[in-house]
Each structure stands twice: as structure tokens, then as C-alpha cells.
Amino acid sequence: MKTESSSSVVEFLEKVPLLHRLTSSSLKKIAQVLVFKRYERGDYVVGRDEEEMEGVYFILEGQAQVLGPVGEENCSEFFLKPFDYFGRGIFGNVYAVDVVAVSQLTCLLLTCDHCHLLETKPICDLDNQRSLLERILYMDPLDLNVFRGFTLPNAPALGKVFGGQFVAQGLAAASKTVEFMKLVHSLHAYFLLSGDTNSKDFNLNMLLLASTLLFSSESSLAVPIIYEVSRLRDGNNFATRRVDARQKGKTIFTLFASFQREQQGFDHLESNMPHMLPPETLVSRDEMLQRRMTDHLIPRYYRNKVATQYTAPLPIDIRFCEPNYSTEERKSPSRLKYWFKARGELSDDQALHRCVVAFASDLMYAFISSDPHRKKGMSAVPVSLDHSMWFHRPLRADDWLLFVMVNLTASQSRGLATGEMFNRKGELVVSLKQEALLKETVTSNPILDSKL
């Protein structure tokens, strides 16, 4: 792009919510291929009759209006201003709309053949044969019963340590103190304090050895989490462990886990898996979010919210059975069903697969408690309080599992949800329960503070 200096264009791109998840090197590449587009007032930038949009437009100067659903054309959320964006996106055209200039308008166009530059780095590092999940679950042994865990740059965080990471790493630490013939059959976890991912005040020299094992040279390290395991019981067939997670000298998480040697016994199943479409026919969560980011018929604040919080694909592939393209302003049932599996192939270690399922179990569990109470201008931020899991049968976390969850009740600012996980054969492999704290904030400018 020759009209503007490359540095000033990069500075502009850094302020576009859609691009917050990209690295500076990616922004520089985008700046080099952008095309200037100018329009007079009343010009159609995009027409719904066009067979295909040219690409993604970023508004540099002026304003445009999306001619949205009938009755909503004058809604302020459908007026676009500098740093807003619209267009084709990564996954092709999905919505047919008109976008009209309401003043002199200057846009920067990223043409379709360069839209691949919007993609984030893949979950698995091709130079590292281990999946991101296996690296997240790596526990650095400090002593016989003490381990150190890390929050990787690509791990889910959003400003604090993800609850599923606590559960999975705590279980991984406990598993390392139990003979390999015994596998976890139940766990009960309590989230006491938020985990810190800020590394500014931490001495990175302490992690030099571990960083060479886990991170690339461009990665930043977060404050480590120390997991201390207490061996409460070691019997012939059962073992019990308590794990306390500490950070900066404070206990922030506690987990109790029971392990059992494989034994033959009664076997029956009363819970039936609901009939759902195969996961291969469903849209992935990442594709759904990408579409929401460029859907002009969704209010601007919500598109910016998704774009700001979407940093990279999760290490778990999620396919919603009943895709809901709500803008989080409408009530929805307090139940959810989706298929999920780990990205990449995992080893045959059954303990690893159970840790991965524990990691995945907290991704969206708490949010169904607030779904029936959604309304415009409300931001509900659920926080996991306690989390319980029962493992009934062997499973593979790198094969599709159906997660069926229902919120049973919400009262006294707490919501209780129950869940079941089924394999593709229809066997119940895991049962779950979780209690979450429901925080409600009502504001005219919705707070961008959600896991999604």
C-alpha cells in the first residue's frame, strides 16, 4: 500500500478489534497488501445483490450504514465508524446485506486472496510433536510430591488462569503420585482465588530450563503454579490424593481425587444418549465465531466483543448440536449439547485422556446458568466455585464425545448444573456437576468480559 506510510497503517490496524489477536508481524504483512477504496455519500460499498464481496473492509475515515432487518435500519449499532470492519471474512459470504456510505468514506480493503492473513497460528506446533494440550499438562517435578505447572501463551486465559487448566493440571499432578494401574474415577475441585497470568513481576530466569522444553523464543511466560500433592491413602485397589495449587504463596485451588485399579463387577446403563447429528456435519465453534465477527446484522458492540476476546482456536474442537447465533441479548434455554474432542492425536495413556476431558469440561459449563436471564445491556460473568466429575468407562479424548449439560437451578447468586458425556457408541463415560457464582452487571455499554 503506497498512499500511506506502512507504520501509520500498522498503527491503525492495531486499533481494529478484529485484528487484536494477530501478531505485529501479521499486521505488517496485511498493511503491505491493503487497497484504498473511497466512496461518496450515498454510494453502495456492498450490495446484497453482489454475488461475492471483494474481501474485508476496514473503515479508515467517515461513516457507513448497514441496512439491517426491517425496523432496525436506524439502530446506532448498524452505523459503522473508523476501526469498524465488514465483509467477506475467512469463511466466505454468509450474510446478504447492503452497506451504504453516509458521508465521504475511506476504507482499507483486504482482498479475498489475502484473507488467509487473518488466520491465527495453528494449535499444534509443527516443530513439536506434542499437542498443545499435552504441553499444557506437562508437570515439572520439583520434589517427590511437588510439581510446577505453566500457563502457555496459546492456552485459554482471558486475563486469568482458565478453571479447566487448574482441574487438568491438578489431576495430572495427582496421577504422577499413583501407580499407573490405578486411574482416576472421581474428583472434586474447589476454586478459591483467580490464577494470575501476568509475568511482569516474575523472575523468568527461574524457568529457563522449563521454558526451553515448552516455549518458542517468542513466547512469554506466566507466573507458574505450584501443585503440592498429599497422599491421603494408598490401598490395594484405591488411592486418594489431595492437591493444593499455590501461586505467590497463596492457595488458589484445591482438588481431591480418588483412583481405582480396574476391577470386574456389575455393569448396566440407565442414561441414554440423545440422538444428535454427527459432529462432522456441524459447524465448529471457531468457524461460528469467525462468522459472528463479520456478520453486519449483529450489533457492533457484540462483534467487537467477540473479535477482542477471540485470540486463537481452542485446543478443543467444539461442534454445537443446536447452533445459536444469538447476540447474547435474548433468553435461551438453560441446557446445551455439543460434541468435542482434542485437536491432534494423543498417546494411548488413559490417564492423559482423562486429564484432557477434565480440561475441556469447564469451557462452557458455567454459562448455561445465566442463559435464561439474558437481556439487553446485561453482562453476566459466571465464576466456577466447585467442580465434580465421575469417570465410568475408558474413553478417548481425541475422539468425539457428546457433552449434554443442564442447569438445574439458580438462586442466591449461584447456579447448579449437571452434565453427562457420551462416546459415539452411546455409552455414558463421564458424569459431572458444577456450581457457579453468577455476577450480573447492567450497563448501557455492555462489558466485554465473557469466555466467548
- Catalytic positions, written as ranges: 362, 384, 434
With b for 16 or more beta-carbon neighbours within 10 A and e for fewer, the 194-212 pattern comes to ebbbeeeeeeeeebeebbe
Residue type, 257: A
CA nearest neighbour of 101 among 57, 64, 68, 53: 64
Side-chain-facing half-sphere of 390: CA atoms under 13 Å: 8
- Bridge pairing between strands 378-391 and 401-411: unpaired
CA nearest neighbour of 285 among 242, 265, 261, 314: 314
Nine cell digits for residue 127: 516443530
4: CB partners within 8 A, 6+ apart = 36
Q: CA dist 315 to 93, 112, 377, Å?
A: 26, 27, 31
197: CB partners within 8 A, 6+ apart = 151, 157, 159, 160, 161, 222, 223
| Residues listed for the chain | 452
Round the CA-based radius of gyration of the chain to a whole number and report it.
24
The answer to whether 229 and 195 have CB atoms below 8 angstroms apart is: no
CA nearest neighbour of 170 among 337, 387, 335: 387
- Bridge pairing between strands 64-67 and 250-261: unpaired
Q: CA dist 403 to 132, 329, 335, 406, 433, Å?
A: 22, 24, 11, 10, 12
